[in-house]
Amino acid sequence: MFGFYMNVIKRFYVRIFKFIISKLQKSFETKRLGTEYGGWSLIDFKELNNKTIISAGCGEDISFDIEFLNLYGGKIILVDPTPRSIKHLEQVFNSVGNKKTKDYVDGGNQKIESYDLENIQTEQLIIKNYALFKEDGITVKFFPPKNPEHVSHSISNWQKGETDSNKSIEVETITVKKIMEDQKIDELELIKLDIEGAENQVLPNLIKNKIFPNQILVEFDELHTNNILSYTKALFIIFRLLLNDYILIKTYKFPDMLFVKKSLLS
């Protein structure tokens, strides 16, 4: 009986959360790049042209990143320490210059031939085999997804995957601040965070270090559960971003969210 009432409370809390988000969201015209699975929405500002952006959490679908480069040029720093993702990124890197010969497939495992790499240069792809986090240079456990067919590992293990040492891997962490210093980026135009729960660490760290990208594309992965604590953490971070002059832009794919600096929309 206790479990029944807890589930009722959780569902009610989730409904309240989504109601609050719906009231906070503002409607602006957005552009979606990439597949249904790996795509993201952004606002099509001319300021994106020829800029270096950070894309953390790549998996085996970087359709967003490749379409971004074809549209805006510049460079993308691809951050992901997962072995399958590293292999996928290296295959893309080695296929630069090739034409697109296949359509995208459903799901998150894209064929290299589905990317339009004809006009991409190798120097536009910067691969970082690290886990994005709030601290640099520490070794953390990276837990596998519950479904072994999926690729994305996580520090928080929100999917409750195997904790056996033979299943988890150890990876080194890096911060956004460190990446920006290494790449000599003074102001970050856009960051994409699909980092399986670590956004709850990375976003507060950005605010702490006064790093305010003009656009933040983030999936609050733990919102795929009905965990009240996860929803509370996300709501706290969302309000902190709003208090730092961001606007939450309405997009259709929950729990993907788009935050844009207010000054760009005025």
Residues 176-201: tens digit of each pLDDT = 999 999 999 999 999 999 998 899 99
Stated as kind and residue range, the H or E segment containing 131 is strand 131-132
* Region 169-179 average pLDDT: 94
The share of the chain scoring above pLDDT 90, in percent, equals 77
Burial 183-194 (b: 16+ CB within 10 A, else e): eebeebbbbbbb
- pTM comes to 0.92
Cβ–Cβ < 8 Å for 248, 203: no
* Region 107-117 average pLDDT: 94
Who wins on pLDDT, 45 or 108?
45
